[in-house]
Amino acid sequence: MSSPFTTVTDKPDTGDRIYLPVARCKGKLLIVRPLKYQDKDFVTQHAPEGTDAVFVDAVLLDPIPARVNEDDEELPGFAAGTQFRDQVILQGYLKGTFKRYLNQTLIGTVYKGVPTKGMPPIMWQDLSGDPECVRRGQEFLIAHPEFLVPVAGQFSTAVPEVIEQGPGGYVQPGRATRESVYNGHEPGRGGPAQNTLDQMRAMAKANGGDQDPPF
């Protein structure tokens, strides 16, 4: 006779689902698509009374290497192109930015802002005005049309909640010099979004395709 009771374990059963390690994404190129905003009642260990949250789909375009943290815990690595579906975002400044861009496609990275109290906040650095970042994002969207938003897959310029200038700076993979930092794209200074739909169609045809991308 089977037991009607559920076994309680110390760790949640996450199945095959993977979670976006936001704090480890500093300086990594990301595509983020905010899906919905929940304004209250999202209960966490640190907010038992409930808090607000933003849910996003995200793509990591730069790899995150595996490492061991200060508590001797092994942190997994993630390959470039890893998709993170229906992720909850609880960091305050990221929530403030992403909730204004629901159902739009953003490209950029995260960085640590200037602390006002406690830990430094994690903030969004928009890179929709950087041609190389946009090109890499377009190539991913062409190869993975299932991730595209239904309308156009256009990168939208995301303006952060605050205007304090942080260190920011996205470094191209394989470059370690200070000159490789995108100094011209500090938070809030991203250029206008590219016409992504037209550019992706042109790129697909240039690569030998006779049909438009499926979006």
Tens-digit pLDDT profile for residues 57-101? 999 999 999 999 888 889 999 999 999 988 999 998 999 999 999
Tokens 């009374």 sit at which residue? 49
Entry pTM: 0.68
Phi, psi dihedral angles at 55 (to 5 degrees): -110, 135
**What are the boundaries of each domain within the chain?**
24-206
Please name the residue that has the structure tokens 């059963």: 13
Task: Give the C-alpha separation, 126 to 138, whole Å.
Answer: 16
Q: Give the model's pLDDT for residue 200.
A: 65
pLDDT at 109 over 80: yes
Beta-strand runs (E) in 106-188: 106-112, 122-126
Instruction: Check pLDDT > 50 for residue 21.
Output: yes
d(CA 187, CA 169): 9
Tell me which DSSP letter residue 23 carries: G
Higher pLDDT, 158 or 83: 83
Strand partners, 105: 155
131 vs 157: CA distance, rounded Å: 13
Say which residue, 170 or 9, is predicted with more confidence: 170
**Amino acid found at 172:** Q
